[in-house]
């Protein structure tokens, strides 16, 4: 699914009921968001990757657009630094070094010498400044960022309006765009940027169709020794099933969509060449409830609903046992050393206890009627929608499990499966009831 970044996209306050630490999901793009599998694929030097949540591609390599194509922010454009989530270490990228203020009020980055855009123009501090100005204008976010300024051609200063420790991590991972290109675009928010200029390894659009597109090497890439591939080919699929079939048939090289029973359906067909890796070091999958709506604005309700969810069934059936249930901290295994076990031991609301959940709802005034269905305090039936993108077969299974679990409380849940774009739109405008989302594992 598309990434939903809690600091940038959600405009409503939502409560997260942690269901399972992410190991493999229906999510695609991102840094550490899922498992990977190696297939057969091409012998042309192109790495072929399926996109399982996009039936057709529409040209859009705009790094400021929520509708940007996959690989826009992974292959065409680059950030100042990247972060190794397993080791928890930042890795210099377009920035070679940085210094965070001791009082948390800012950070200064030094840019890498000799980096060029794919059109041959040099990367400068002005590009970084302009990128953040445009990002805030188009998409918002970075509320803590007061000013971005170029100290000199290779030094950028970020001033915050309040102490903000995650600022280094967040500004460091914003992809940078060329000022000399974007300052000439009349409406950057709507531009599709069909022929992108970036600093990434694969920037040249050599082929584009509704079902596939190819990106070839950036001729001016600053790390040419790492351009081991001729290019990247993306294939469009309307869901996990089609993408999985392509993987099983050897039509793609690498994938990160959900594959049920991966050992039998994929690896066993060619054990010498087919492998998978599903680390539980990504983000955490959350059952997201809209706390601007009743009854989700009642913490007793949120805890009771959580206590009725059989997380073992969610992970074993809905996610093929690739991961394990999360605890109340919501921390995935990348944060093992940060988890306070004494807090986990005291938490009850992520542990299965249907009897207590029913008692909590009774005591809070959400009574069951003669039909066994609870009513809200305004007399309306206790029912709500659970939305998840139609492409994500694993998360749809999770939704059905949760719906069945809620029946034990006298709560009716309708599982909806529109396109992911509609689901994300519901989160953005605050109209959603509930659903599954995930976020990247951030820095500590």
Alpha carbons 366 and 110: distance in angstroms, whole number:
58
List all residues 6 or more positions away from 314 whose beta carbon is below 8 Å from its beta carbon.
Answer: 19, 20, 325, 398, 401, 402
- 302 is a domain residue: yes
Question: What would you measure as the largest C-alpha separation in the chain, in angstroms?
Answer: 74
Which helix (H) or strand (E) covers residue 38, if one does? strand 36-38
* Domain tally, the chain: 3
- With a pLDDT cut of 90, the percent of the chain lying above it is 65
151 shares a domain with 88: yes
Mean pLDDT of 271-292: 86
235 shares a domain with 203: yes
Domain boundary among 254, 277, 300: 277
Q: What is the pLDDT at residue 286?
A: 87
Q: What is the pLDDT at residue 41?
A: 52
Among 235-249, 332-346, 361-375, 384-398, the range scoring the smallest mean pLDDT is 332-346
Reply yes or no on whether the pLDDT at 294 is more than 60: yes
- The one-character DSSP state at 390 is T
- 71 is a domain residue: no
How far out from the chain centre does Cα 108 lie?
Answer: 27
Structural domain harbouring 197: 36-60+193-277
Mean pLDDT of 309-320: 90
If you write DSSP's letter for every residue of 135-161 in order, what string do you get?
A: HHHHT---TTEEEEEEEETTEEEEEES
315 shares a domain with 254: no
314 shares a domain with 329: yes
Specify the pairing of strand 254-255 against strand 36-38.
antiparallel
List all residues 6 or more positions away from 277 whose beta carbon is below 8 Å from its beta carbon.
Answer: 35, 36
Which CATH number goes with the domain that contains 89?
Answer: 3.90.76.10
Alpha carbons 397 and 389: distance in angstroms, whole number:
12
Which helix (H) or strand (E) covers residue 208, if one does? strand 202-208
105 shares a domain with 247: no
The band of 162, judged by pLDDT with boundaries at 50, 70 and 90, is very high
198 shares a domain with 55: yes
- 290 is a domain residue: yes
- 188 is a domain residue: no
Helices (H), 353-442: 354-363, 393-407, 420-429
Q: Do 134 and 177 contact (CB within 8 A), yes or no?
A: yes
Q: What is the pLDDT at residue 28?
A: 31
- 70 is a domain residue: no
Q: Do 234 and 51 contact (CB within 8 A), yes or no?
A: yes
Mean pLDDT of 323-344: 85
pLDDT tens for residues 167-193?
Answer: 999 999 999 999 999 999 999 999 999
Reply yes or no on whether the pLDDT at 322 is more than 50: yes
198 shares a domain with 50: yes
Domain boundary among 224, 256, 277: 277
Mean pLDDT of 42-59: 86
- 67 is a domain residue: no
129 shares a domain with 240: no
Q: What is the pLDDT at residue 195?
A: 97
201 shares a domain with 53: yes
pLDDT tens for residues 339-385?
Answer: 899 999 999 999 999 999 999 999 999 999 999 999 999 999 999 99
- With a pLDDT cut of 70, the percent of the chain lying above it is 88
The band of 38, judged by pLDDT with boundaries at 50, 70 and 90, is low
Reply yes or no on whether the pLDDT at 22 is more than 70: no
Residue 162 tokens read as 């309040």
Q: What is the pLDDT at residue 84?
A: 82
Which pTM value belongs to this model?
A: 0.78
Q: Residue 309 half-sphere exposure, CB side, CA atoms within 13 Å?
A: 28
């Amino acid at each position: 699914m598309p990434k939903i970044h809690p600091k940038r996209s959600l405009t409503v306050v939502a409560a997260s009921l942690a269901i399972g630490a992410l190991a493999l999901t229906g999510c695609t793009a991102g840094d550490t968001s899922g498992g990977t599998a190696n297939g057969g694929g091409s012998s042309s030097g192109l790495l072929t990757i399926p996109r399982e949540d996009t039936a057709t591609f529409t040209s859009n390599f705009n790094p400021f657009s929520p509708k940007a194509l996959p690989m826009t922010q992974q292959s065409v454009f680059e950030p100042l630094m990247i972060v190794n989530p397993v080791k928890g270490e930042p890795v210099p990228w377009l920035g070679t070094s940085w210094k965070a203020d001791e009082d948390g009020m800012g950070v200064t980055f030094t840019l890498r010498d000799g980096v060029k855009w794919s059109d041959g123009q040099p990367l400068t501090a002005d590009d970084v400044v302009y990128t953040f100005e445009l990002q805030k204008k188009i998409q918002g976010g970075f509320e803590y960022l007061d000013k971005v300024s170029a100290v000199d051609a290779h030094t950028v200063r970020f001033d915050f309006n309040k102490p903000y420790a995650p600022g280094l991590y967040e500004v460091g991972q914003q992809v940078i765009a060329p000022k000399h290109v974007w300052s000439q675009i009349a409406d950057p928010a709507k531009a599709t940027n069909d022929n992108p200029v970036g600093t990434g390894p694969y920037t040249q659009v050599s082929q584009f169709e509704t079902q596939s597109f190819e990106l070839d090497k950036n001729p001016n890439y600053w790390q040419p020794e790492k351009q081991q591939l001729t290019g990247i080919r993306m294939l469009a699929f309307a869901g996990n099933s089609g993408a999985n079939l392509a993987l099983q048939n050897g039509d793609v090289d690498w994938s990160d969509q959900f594959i049920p029973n991966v050992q039998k359906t994929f690896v066993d067909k060619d054990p010498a060449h087919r492998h998978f890796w599903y680390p539980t070091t990504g983000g955490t999958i959350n059952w997201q409830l809209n706390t601007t709506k009743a009854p989700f604005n009642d913490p007793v309700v949120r805890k009771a609903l959580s206590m009725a969810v059989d997380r073992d069934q969610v992970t074993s059936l809905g996610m093929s046992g690739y991961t394990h249930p999360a605890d109340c901290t919501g921390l995935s295994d990348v944060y093992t050393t940060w988890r306070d076990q004494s807090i986990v031991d005291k938490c009850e609301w992520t542990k299965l206890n249907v009897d207590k959940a029913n008692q909590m709802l009774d005591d809070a005034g959400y009574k069951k009627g003669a039909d066994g269905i609870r009513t809200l305090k305004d007399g309306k039936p206790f029912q709500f929608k659970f939305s998840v993108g139609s492409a994500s077969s694993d998360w749809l299974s999770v939704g059905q499990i949760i719906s069945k679990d809620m029946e034990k409380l006298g709560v009716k849940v309708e599982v909806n499966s529109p396109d992911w774009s509609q689901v994300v739109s519901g989160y953005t405008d605050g109209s959603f009831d509930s659903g599954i989302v995930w976020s990247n594992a951030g820095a500590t």
